[in-house]
Amino acid sequence: MGGAVSAGEDNDALVDNLVSADIIRSKEIEQIFRAVDRGHYYPERFKEDAYRDSAWKDGNLHLSAPCIYSEVMEHLDLKPGLSFLNMGSGTGYLSTMVGLALGHSGINHGIELHQSVVDYAYQKLDEFKSKLSTSDFCEPTFVVGNCLKVDPSTMRLYDRVYCGAAVSEKDELYMRRFLKINGSLVMPLNDQLVVMTRFSENGFSKNYFYAVSFASLLRPSPEDPMVKLPEMSPMKLKEICHKKVKGLINLKRCLEDEDWAESPEKRLFTYYNLLDGK
């Protein structure tokens, strides 16, 4: 599924095409797509395919088409501090983009079926973090297992949920159990992406918004272990305060340096970075 826009030569060209086609519609989502290079999640031998608007698969590694991720990001309506669950987190590409939207106070969890894919996702996450220029990032945590077999004792409620495989009408009832009131779930259902909102304990609304073709969720076997979701543990207040104090100390040192920065614009940019604890 894909082909909504022409291929780009690099990540910025791909994003330009998605913006021109009105698939990426908000400035915040555009900035996130520019910050997370799609090509980074491709093995070297497949890099030439990274900026095409098409899905890609190599063994257990899989990425949906850029136009799909764009629509998903737009309809998740992500905000700083929210909690997010990615069912079928794969390479970690989407979870990493979500992490930039949630900021350091959010919660970012993913469930992936294959251990080798989780290992790959953590490798790519470490590489991404090594080049990250902001500390305002909600690092994803991935667990291995079938998302249809979550241990009830670790059941969590999330503000935002995404499922990256086709959901049956039977599984729809299971999926919405993870939603908080006023939370939103985006998933493929009846060959369309749907955003489902929980507006009360038993009240849900649906809005179909994009035609898609996804592989179906793999049914768990009785032998499959239960998936234990991670704890809900956003950055503690003490850690946030420590970062801010560190930033103020660094800012004071810069202010005492007469040669610091070459222009008012650079000084202003550095103020924000230092105050963010960098």
Report how far apart, in Å, the C-alpha atoms of 98 and of each of 84, 123, 259 are.
Answer: 8, 17, 38
Report how far apart, in Å, the C-alpha atoms of 202 and of each of 21, 172, 197, 222, 238 are.
Answer: 37, 14, 11, 29, 37
CA distance 229 to 111: 8
DSSP state at residue 1: -
**Residue 119, H or E segment:** helix 115-130
Which residues have a Cβ under 8 Å from the Cβ of 97 and sit 6 or more positions away? 32, 33, 35, 36, 69, 73
Report whether 31 contacts 133 (CB < 8 A): no
CA distance 248 to 242: 10
Q: Catalytic residue positions? A: 64
CA distance 33 to 265: 25
Quick one: how far is CA 14 from the chain centroid?
A: 18
